[in-house]
Structure 1
Amino acid sequence: MSYGFQRFFFLFYYLACFWPELRAESNLRIVNQWAELEFVFPDEETKQIALTKRHYVPGKSVPIDVDVQYRKDTLSPRIFVTTPRFGEGRPVTLGTVDENGKISGYPDYSWHENQGQNCEGLTSVFRTAIDECNRLWVMDTGNGGGTQHCSPQLLAFDLDNDKLVYRYRFNQSVYNERSGFITLVVDVRPGDCGDTYVYVADVSTYALVVVDVARNRSWRLTHRLFYPFPSRGNFTVDGENFELMDGVMGMALSPWRGNSDRFLYFHALSSTTENVVRTSVLKNDSFLADPNVDPKLIRVFPDERPNQAATEAMDRNGIMYFGLMDPPSIWCWNSATEYNQRNFHQVAEDRETLQFASGVKVINNLKGEQELWVLTSSFQRVITKSLSSNRTNFRIHAGKIPVILARSPCLFPPKNRPDDYYANIIAAPAE
């Protein structure tokens, strides 16, 4: 981020906070936008080799997720993006965005140039998560272009020095050749970085995989609510239609409230329902022997969204954020209220810039303020093969949550109701 852009960044927030009438209607600003992604290579020779081998085909890369690290030694945040390898031509699958909008491989280019042929590197990354211990968690599917080159692997990098501090390779007891490990959430006990669980969604074979980091083991859970709904497999975004039959994709953890149990909210991409389960249920690996977890422990909310959503995130106050497909928009829901459309409140709507919100994150800045970051794309044109470099296709948006929720009903739940009020009503306690 250049000095001039930094000045604009802080001027924007100053105006947004003190002169509300000057704010954009959505209260989300565009941080980066691209017609097609550009990449930084170690040198020109390396770039030419990638072009010759078709490891780099301009216009092929599609960003899916965004993450942000605020660093104490600089005013500018470090922005991460993922670019899964759906096919050939994607030179980097996880990178950082420089001040010119170009993407450099993270932690360096050597982790990416193998294109899945060396399982010590990164094959294809859909999503990441940064935890309170300043670790970047990376879920690598191991699958590039439809070929399972390597076992799926979960990695963690120490963001203080960008060194690998954890690697877990999944064995075939928890995945098969059709699996798609594409979304993860990290559950860390406050004050104890060693007590960490990671919940991974298998979008293609409809399961959740739990990784117990301290004990270096994992187990797989199946349940009917992890499946897509055939009636929700048709999508419309910006007037274009496509079909997808994807299972669990969106996941969000409730805030810590002084005990070891939290709620995991989740939904299939091809659905309009939201589900909830206590994390104590997920952490109980005795369910491994039961292919269908007790349905009383994993519950679905009775009401539904108006249409499909991809990912979601929850802030420290128990407010969830998610994008809807039609119209392209971002919404909030306070978990102290019932999950229904009366309690969904719009944060932003823009039919051009907010199409397909595939990355939604709540980020803490250096002042302890929470920010909402969203990555949107013309993903429908990727599916229909109508993507064009003549228009802007990908955008990263950001806004301070107190600003974007100013006067929003999401800030004013019923009195004397804690967050997760509704989840507590419908989700039976774990035995």
Structure 2
Amino acid sequence: MKLIYLVLLLCQVCYIQSGTVYGGTNNIKTREPLFAWRQIDFTDDNELNEENIYFEPPPNQIRSANSNNNGGVHDDYIQYNNVPMGATRWQGKIFVTLPRRRTGVPATLTYIVANKTRRSNIDVPLIPYPDLEVNRLRTRPVKGLTSLVSVYRTTADECDRLWMVDTGLLEYPDNRQQVQQPAIVVIDLNRNRIIHRYELPDNVLTNSSTLASIAVDVRPGSCEDTFAYIPDVSGNAIIVYNLRERRSWKFTHNSFHQDPIGGEFNLNGLEFEWDDGIFSIALGPIDRYGYRTAYYHAMASTHQFSVSTRVLRNQTNSERSFHGNDFVHLGDKGERQQTSSSVFDLDTGVLFYDLVNNNALGCWNTRKPFSSQNHVVLFQDNERFIYPSDITDDREGNIWVMTNTMPFFNYRSLNPQEINFRIWAFNVRELVSNTNCA
């Protein structure tokens, strides 16, 4: 028995039990999600009245979207079709996104109050943000009103702004509709209002562009001096946006594509193939020259790459056909280590990432070599941590993860009587203590 323990300790790997944290000599700690939903309900903008659910699911959950005469779309609420994708915490709010991939989604950007005392944190109704009117689905623009069509994930920056890409696309099966041009949208979180919208020009997009996340790079002391980096999952590109100059350009590179043998997934016996390219960008600390390292990966791959924002911020570099050593291959995380979202913790230097093929959360301390022993699975739960779709930090030493069982929604079905969607919160230092990520 002592020999077995010694081997496990040296390898920094041990068998994962359901709902446990592990890695190295870390004591096993049971984890519970902070919020959980069987199905999604909505309430009005009165934070004190979460019992006032005003969207009632129609009989048999079957309705269709019908245009009205005011430029709006009467998209009936179909409870089953509302699948949350992203989670971002800012102060007392947790923002939850619901991209419009099916009919019947009344709001694509919502929030819940994080620190409110409730009888239960199960099936807490979502509040449209900044209000329902902005989230209302329309077939044509309304003068003086910025509407949100479909948002996958959000990012809160140090200037108290919430960034997102509105794809403008209704991804209804067999009936995709580009309602408006894809755009970067920025909301002032202190005033709860949209303060900036930039439509992405056609020359940075393709017919198949999929814009599912955004990384934000703010120069210290100057909120206007901000760059945003958008991975184009299907277009295999990084779109760069200069806020001060209101300009954008894109980079293409072979490392943005899927790995030919990395697209096979098996989630609890559900087998499928995806070809998603560059999926997530996580930004490291500012170096002495004022730039950051951007860590990125394709979803259908187990490889990790990086590039300096010094390269990305220079539009001239995007016009080169050969990039030399600009884009760096860091290594291969290993078999079944396909990753959706990732986030960099500036305090510890740890890169956290969602392991979709393992129902797990992993990490690598970037101050250590990129090697198998330095990649740690911190948490795994094969029953409750199914398909981690987003991971963000709150600048207070915590990371937040959304798990949403989406592949089962896509290829099989969800049981409305069971918990399907969860938001998890982890304290960074507690999570990595006594592991090779510490």
TM-score category, normalised to shorter length: 0.7 to 0.9
Which amino acid is the alignment partner of residue 131 of structure 1?
D
Aligned residues: 378
Structure 2: distance between partners of 1:388 and 1:164: 36
- Give 5+ residue unaligned stretches, structure 1: 1-22, 71-76, 412-431
Equivalent of 1:125, from 151, 161, 170? 151
Which amino acid is the alignment partner of residue 129 of structure 2?
Y
Instruction: Please state how far the C-alpha of 1:257 moved relative to its aligned partner.
Output: 3.7
Structure 2: distance between partners of 1:160 and 1:86: 30
Structure 2: distance between partners of 1:84 and 1:48: 18
Structure 2: distance between partners of 1:112 and 1:83: 11
Cα offsets for 1:271-311 (capped at 9, x unmatched): 11001000010011013333x45142112123333321100
Query: In the alignment, what sits opposite 1:55?
Result: 76
| Maintained 8 Å contact 2:57/2:78 | no
Instruction: Please state how far the C-alpha of 1:323 moved relative to its aligned partner.
Output: 1.8
Cα offsets for 1:91-117 (capped at 9, x unmatched): 111100256611111100001112554
Structure 1 residues 57, 340: CA separation in 2 closer, same or farther (over 3 Å shift)?
Answer: same
Instruction: Please state how far the C-alpha of 1:79 moved relative to its aligned partner.
Output: 0.6
Query: In the alignment, what sits opposite 1:143?
Result: 169
Structure 2: distance between partners of 1:113 and 1:329: 35
- Give 5+ residue unaligned stretches, structure 2: 1-25, 46-51, 65-73
The normalised TM-score by structure 1 is 0.83
Query: In the alignment, what sits opposite 2:135?
Result: 112
Structure 1: distance between partners of 2:215 and 2:276: 18
Query: In the alignment, what sits opposite 2:330?
Result: 301
| Maintained 8 Å contact 1:122/1:142 | yes
Query: In the alignment, what sits opposite 1:327?
Result: 358
| Maintained 8 Å contact 1:116/1:123 | no
Matched, 1:69 2:98: no
Mapping 1:230-379, distance limit 5 Å: 230-290=260-320, 292-307=321-336, 308-316=338-346, 317-365=348-396, 370-379=397-406
Matched, 1:102 2:133: no
Structure 1: distance between partners of 2:108 and 2:96: 8
Instruction: Please state how far the C-alpha of 1:243 moved relative to its aligned partner.
Output: 1.8
Structure 2: distance between partners of 1:216 and 1:253: 21
The normalised TM-score by structure 2 is 0.81
Structure 1: distance between partners of 2:54 and 2:424: 34
Query: In the alignment, what sits opposite 1:415?
Result: none
RMSD over aligned Cα atoms: 2.3
Q: Please, which moves more after superposition, 261-270 or 250-259? A: 250-259
Matched, 1:229 2:256: no
Query: In the alignment, what sits opposite 1:36?
Result: 39
Which amino acid is the alignment partner of residue 294 of structure 1?
H
Structure 2: distance between partners of 1:353 and 1:149: 35
Cα offsets for 1:40-68 (capped at 9, x unmatched): 25798876999774431111011111000
| Maintained 8 Å contact 2:57/2:79 | no
Structure 2: distance between partners of 1:239 and 1:258: 48
Which amino acid is the alignment partner of residue 245 of structure 2?
R
Structure 2: distance between partners of 1:31 and 1:383: 25
Structure 2: distance between partners of 1:117 and 1:83: 21
**Counterpart of 1:246 in 2: which secondary structure?**
coil
Query: In the alignment, what sits opposite 2:9?
Result: none
Matched, 1:152 2:182: yes
Query: In the alignment, what sits opposite 2:160?
Result: 134
Structure 1 residues 81, 151: CA separation in 2 closer, same or farther (over 3 Å shift)?
Answer: same
Mapping 1:185-204, distance limit 5 Å: 185-204=215-234
**Counterpart of 2:310 in 1: which secondary structure?**
helix
